[in-house]
């Protein structure tokens, strides 16, 4: 037994309290646990009895005892079996081979069969599907990691513990810490998260940019809910240093696109600053805001929307090949968030699910257009995903707190342009001619169902949207014109496919119909440029040439050199060249140079035909300018009179077109023998314009036609 220290009694000691100690044994026994006093003081104990700390503190050294181990609650066998049956049911539903338990429901022999992954159907909102083709679809598209982490839960499954509830956020945080600081890789190696308050405009200019965005950008995409975002921007403009990263990057995306949509003159008038200067400031701020928001690793819908707006704003100045690659990043982020699969979208509130659908479709359309411009026929516009179409609703119908959305409206809404462009894209991604071009290895099914044609698409768009449009409303007018242009464009694509596969029953009539459509396409494109109410949307068509319409007209004008429709075609080309100011907007484009040479050859064919008939003619101004610009020699017999060359064609849009812009009808709305008009605007005139045919393919098609003629 150890000897405890002896304290002298104050009554028996004449000196101050002096510690006297009994002799200690040579060795002190040790123990495995620290004493109670050392544990409470959180100091190191030497595990002796008594320990050195207790001896120095003149305290009793009490050994600590091992606390009883807390028994972990055993998982209920019943709950375990229920979860196992749920997993097996979901595996069976997705036709994934597995070894079931003996007591699982259903026939054991049937469930043991090894099955192949089936091809899920298109989402319920699809207006068109391709019955003759069977491309592989992603369906609900669970990733392997998601399946492991979530146990392949059904959307309504409730998480059973707080640990399970937070595991995803913990894993994401660990992942972010492991790969910290990589979000700058697309911008600058030296960029790191930093404060960008100084990049913001003044509060009054913030609201001006927001208003420009609401009028010029938002009606075309509808990826932001204006009532909600406006309130947040108003509050943020007074406390810019406290804005959250996700809202801040969205604000910069709005600045960039709003500035893109106005002219240099308007920018100087509104903001008293040069547009290039503001562009550089806001795009630099947007880049930094994207880095601050960890955009490459984001799970925030607003950050992805901001990335989309930023890519849209830099489009006019970036090589399409470069931009197409970067847009692929936005596509992958969207897929990571599950925007492409309706299974994932339904896990969110009705409001957020609808915003997810809108953003997915706009990313798809943008990716398709950029891939098209970069001569890449592979894009995400395919039948391999099942995200539903957006709903035809106004912003007032779509509120964040609603547990159930109202039924979609009939006729035009604030989402008119979005609905039309998505309906057309949904038809195209399931169309036989498009799939055969983008996915040549696609197998044909044995279905006897007749595939829908572009004529069916036209009837759908006309009856569902266009017949309700009021051309006095800018959004209605631009939607009507462009939708007819989209339809005309895809009819041209369908024509090329049918012609290549000998599927045209009446080739002459079909060819004439396409010719008439191409004329109307240029006429409507010109009408949009000369109509003041569509000024806010001109950015949408400004940088895109209606090339398919031009290419087909040039092909036919070399064959058909005289006649009423030939005159109208040359007039449409001349006016479109003038209104688009081609020589200013496309001076360095190789495509523009090729187009100009083709136009000169077509005009020379007309000159030769008129000379053979001894008919007088005047060379159009744009042909003269092309010859001068590209040093193309003029025929000696060409009758060029500098005094009357400007009057070769009217410098303003024809009266019948002026009347049509202000009415429900469009120029040439009924052509003899053609039935309903498919008036077109700028076949390639916007981000929704999705021309799938490569330049080489179109060249070879037209060369063959010219050779045969």
Q: What is the pLDDT of residues 454-485, one digit of tens each?
A: 989 999 999 999 999 998 999 999 998 888 88
Other Cβ atoms closer than 10 A to 226? 16
* pLDDT tops 50 at residue 375: yes
Question: What is the pLDDT at residue 639?
Answer: 46
The answer to whether residues 19 and 147 belong to one domain is no
Instruction: Report the percentage of the chain scoring pLDDT > 70.
Output: 67
> By residue range, what is the domain housing residue 676?
487-708
Same domain, 110 and 196: no
Average pLDDT over residues 449-453: 78
Identify whether 368 is part of a domain: no
Q: Average of pLDDT values for 47-68?
A: 82
Structure tokens at 38: 């050392």
More confident residue, 400 or 175: 400
- Give dist(CA 499, CA 505) in Å, integer: 9
Whether residues 86 and 217 share a domain: the answer is: no
Per-residue pLDDT for 394 more than 90?
yes
Cα dihedral angle (446, 425, 680, 549), rounded to 10 degrees? -70
Ranking 141-150, 175-184, 527-536 by mean pLDDT, the lowest is 141-150
Specify which residues 671 forms β-bridges with: 675
**3-state secondary structure labels for all residues of 42-99:** CCCCCCECCCHHHHHCCCCCCECCCCCCCCCCCCCHHHHHHHHHHHHHHHHHCCCCCC
pLDDT band at 177 (very low <50, low <70, confident <90, very high): low
pLDDT score, position 190: 57
Q: Where are the alpha helices (DSSP H) in 155-225?
A: 162-178, 203-216, 218-221
pLDDT interval class at 174 (50, 70, 90): low
Instruction: Report residue 602 as tokens.
Output: 């077509």
Tell me if 449 is assigned to some domain. no
Q: In this model, does residue 70 exceed pLDDT 80?
A: no
Q: Cβ–Cβ contacts within 10 Å for residue 566, how many?
A: 19
- Tens of pLDDT, residue by residue over 614-653, are 888 889 999 998 898 887 777 655 544 434 333 444 444 4
Average pLDDT, stretch 499-509?
A: 76
Which of these ranges, 124-133, 163-172, 186-195, has the smallest mean pLDDT?
A: 124-133
* pLDDT-based confidence at residue 339 (cuts at 50, 70, 90): very high
Whether 218 has a pLDDT exceeding 60, the answer reads yes
Sorted by sequence, the CB contacts under 8 Å of residue 453 that are 6+ apart come out as 494
Candidate ranges 85-89, 149-153, 161-165; pick with highest mean pLDDT? 85-89
CATH of the domain at 45: 4.10.240
Provide mean pLDDT across the span 11-35. 51
Do the strands 670-671 and 675-676 form a parallel or antiparallel pair, or are they unpaired? antiparallel
Higher-confidence position of 186 and 611: 611
> In this structure, is residue 374 part of a structural domain?
no
Query: Given this model, what pLDDT does residue 205 score?
Result: 97
The more confidently predicted of residues 103 and 666 is 103
pLDDT of residue 537: 93
Whether residue 580 is found in the same domain as residue 657? yes
pLDDT tens figures, 518-572: 998 888 888 888 888 999 999 988 766 778 888 889 988 998 888 888 999 999 9
Strand, helix or coil at 670? strand
pLDDT for the residue numbered 361: 98
DSSP letters along 392-454, please? ---GGG--TT-SSPPPPPSS--TTHHHHHHHHHHHHHTT-HHHHHHH-TTPPBP---SPPP-H
Judgement on whether residues 205 and 113 belong to the same structural domain of the protein: no
Answer yes or no: is 47 within a domain: yes
> Is 8 domain-assigned?
yes
* pLDDT score, position 321: 86
Supply the pLDDT for residue 542.
Answer: 77
pLDDT tier for residue 300 given thresholds of 50, 70 and 90 = very high
Output the six-digit token pair for 521. Answer: 């396409």
Segment 421-426 shows an average pLDDT of: 95
- Judge whether 548 and 489 are in contact, CB under 8 Å: yes
Per-residue pLDDT averaged across 400-415, rounded?
91
Regarding whether 226 and 149 lie in a shared domain, the answer is no
Domain boundary among 317, 338, 367: 317
Same domain flag for 102 and 207: no
pLDDT at 674 over 50: no
Does residue 213 form part of some domain? yes
**C-beta separation of 361 from 422 below 8 A:** yes
pLDDT above 60: residue 387: yes
How many angstroms from the chain centroid is the CA of residue 385?
A: 14
Q: What integer pLDDT is reported at residue 656 of this predicted model?
A: 44
User: What domain count does the chain have?
Assistant: 4
Residues 589 and 642 in one domain: yes
The residue assigned the tokens 């002190």 is: 28
Secondary structure (3-state) at 496: helix
pLDDT at 59: 86
Q: Do both 104 and 21 map to the same domain?
A: no
Predicted confidence (pLDDT) at residue 379 exceeds the cutoff of 50: yes
**Using 50, 70 and 90 to split pLDDT, how confident is the model at 301?**
very high
Question: What number is the average pLDDT over the span 37-48?
Answer: 84
Q: Give kind and range of the element (H or E) at residue 308.
A: helix 301-314
Domain boundary among 294, 317, 340: 317
- Last residue in a domain, options 317, 343, 371: 317
For residue 569, is it within any domain? yes
pLDDT at 9 over 70: no
**∠705-707-709 over CA atoms, to 5°?**
70
**Percentage of the chain exceeding pLDDT 90:** 36
Tens of pLDDT, residues 82-140 = 778 778 877 777 777 776 665 444 444 443 333 333 333 334 344 454 444 444 344 44
Classify 354 as helix, strand or coil.
helix
Asked if residue 218 and residue 105 are part of one domain, the reply reads no
Q: Which pLDDT score is estimated for 125?
A: 44
Burial of 80 (0-12, 13-18, 19+ CB in 10 A): exposed
> Residue range 15-33: average pLDDT?
50
What SS3 class is residue 30? strand
SS3 track for 216-256: HCHHHHCCCCHHHHHHHHHHHHCCHHHCCHHHHHHHHHHHH
Six-digit token pair at 468? 């309700």
Residues 504 and 617 in one domain: yes
Are 85 and 61 found together in one domain? Answer: no
Higher pLDDT, residue 103 or 498: 498
pTM of the predicted structure, to 2 decimals: 0.70
* Residue 110 located in a structural domain: yes
> Residue 282, Cβ neighbours under 10 Å: how many?
27
Residue 574 has pLDDT above 80, yes or no: yes
Q: Select the more confidently predicted residue: 313 or 696.
A: 313
Which pLDDT score, from 0 to 100, does residue 475 have? 95
Q: What residues pair up with 670 in beta bridges, in sequence order?
A: 676
Torsion angle of C-alpha atoms 278, 279, 284, 290, degrees rounded to 10? 120
Quick one: DSSP state of residue 31? -
As a whole number, the mean pLDDT across the chain is 75
Band of pLDDT at residue 449, cut at 50, 70 and 90: low
């Amino acid at each position: 037994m150890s000897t405890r220290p002896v304290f002298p009694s104050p009554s028996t000691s004449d000196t101050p309290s002096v510690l006297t100690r009994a002799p200690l044994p040579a060795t002190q026994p040790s123990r495995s646990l620290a004493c109670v006093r050392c544990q409470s003081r959180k100091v190191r104990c030497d595990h002796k009895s008594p320990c050195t700390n207790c001896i120095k503190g003149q305290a009793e050294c009490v050994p600590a005892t091992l606390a009883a181990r807390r028994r972990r609650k055993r998982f209920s066998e019943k709950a375990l079996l229920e979860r196992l049956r749920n997993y097996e049911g979901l595996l069976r539903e997705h036709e994934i081979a597995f070894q079931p338990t003996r007591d699982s429901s259903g026939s054991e022999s049937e469930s043991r069969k090894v099955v192949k992954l089936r091809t899920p159907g298109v989402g319920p909102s699809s207006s068109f599907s391709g019955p003759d083709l069977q491309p592989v679809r992603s369906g609900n598209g669970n990733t392997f990691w998601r399946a492991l982490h979530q146990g392949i839960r059904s959307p309504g499954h409730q998480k059973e513990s707080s640990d399970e509830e937070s595991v995803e956020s913990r894993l994401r945080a660990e992942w972010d810490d492991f790969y910290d600081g990589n979000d700058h890789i697309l911008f600058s190696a030296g960029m790191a998260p930093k404060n960008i308050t100084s990049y913001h405009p003044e509060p009054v200019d913030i609201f001006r940019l927001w208003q420009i965005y609401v009028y010029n950008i938002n009606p075309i995409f509808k990826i932001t809910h204006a009532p909600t975002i406006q309130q947040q921007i108003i509050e943020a403009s007074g406390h810019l240093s406290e804005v959250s990263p996700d809202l801040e990057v969205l604000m910069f995306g709005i600045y960039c696109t709003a500035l893109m949509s106005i002219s240099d003159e308007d920018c100087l008038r509104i903001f008293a600053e040069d547009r290039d200067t503001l562009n550089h400031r806001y795009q630099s701020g947007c880049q930094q805001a994207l880095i601050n928001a960890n955009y490459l690793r984001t799970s925030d819908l607003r950050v992805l929307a901001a990335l989309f707006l930023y890519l849209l704003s830099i489009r006019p100045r970036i090589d399409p090949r470069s931009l197409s690659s970067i847009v692929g990043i936005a596509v992958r982020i969207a897929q990571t968030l599950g925007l492409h699969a309706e299974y994932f979208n339904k896990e969110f509130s009705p409001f957020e699910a609808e915003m997810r659908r809108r953003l997915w479709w706009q990313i798809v359309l943008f990716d398709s257009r950029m891939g098209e411009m970069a001569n890449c026929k592979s894009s995400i516009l395919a039948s391999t995903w099942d995200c539903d179409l957006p709903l035809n609703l106004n912003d007032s119908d779509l509120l964040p707190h609603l547990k159930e959305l109202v039924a979609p409206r009939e006729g035009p809404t604030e989402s008119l342009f979005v609905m039309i462009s998505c309906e057309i894209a949904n038809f195209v991604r399931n169309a036989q001619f498009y799939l055969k071009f983008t996915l040549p290895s696609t197998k044909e099914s044995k279905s006897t169902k007749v595939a829908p044609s572009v004529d069916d698409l036209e009837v759908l768009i006309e009856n569902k949207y266009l017949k309700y449009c009021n051309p006095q409303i800018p959004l209605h007018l631009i939607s009507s014109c462009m939708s007819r242009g989209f339809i005309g464009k895809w009819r041209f694509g369908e024509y090329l496919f049918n012609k290549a596969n000998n599927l045209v029953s009446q080739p002459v009539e079909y060819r004439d119909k396409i010719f008439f459509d191409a004329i109307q396409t240029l006429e409507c494109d010109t009408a949009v440029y000369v109509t003041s109410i569509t000024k806010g949307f001109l950015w949408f068509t400004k940088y895109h040439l209606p090339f398919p319409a031009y290419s087909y007209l040039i092909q036919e004008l070399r064959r058909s050199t005289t006649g009423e429709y030939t005159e109208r075609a040359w007039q449409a080309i001349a006016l479109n060249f003038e209104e688009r100011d081609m020589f200013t907007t496309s001076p360095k484009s190789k495509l523009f140079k090729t187009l100009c040479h083709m136009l000169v050859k077509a005009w020379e064919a007309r000159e030769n035909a008129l000379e053979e008939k001894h008919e007088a003619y005047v060379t159009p101004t744009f042909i003269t300018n092309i010859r001068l610009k590209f040093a193309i020699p003029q025929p000696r017999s060409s009758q060029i009179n500098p005094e009357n060359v400007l009057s070769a064609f009217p410098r303003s849009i024809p009266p019948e077109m002026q009347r049509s812009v202000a009415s429900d009808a469009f120029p040439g709305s009924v052509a003899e023998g053609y039935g309903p008009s498919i008036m077109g605007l700028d076949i390639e005139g916007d981000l929704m314009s999705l021309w799938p045919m490569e330049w080489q393919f179109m060249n070879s098609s037209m060369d063959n036609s010219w050779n045969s003629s």
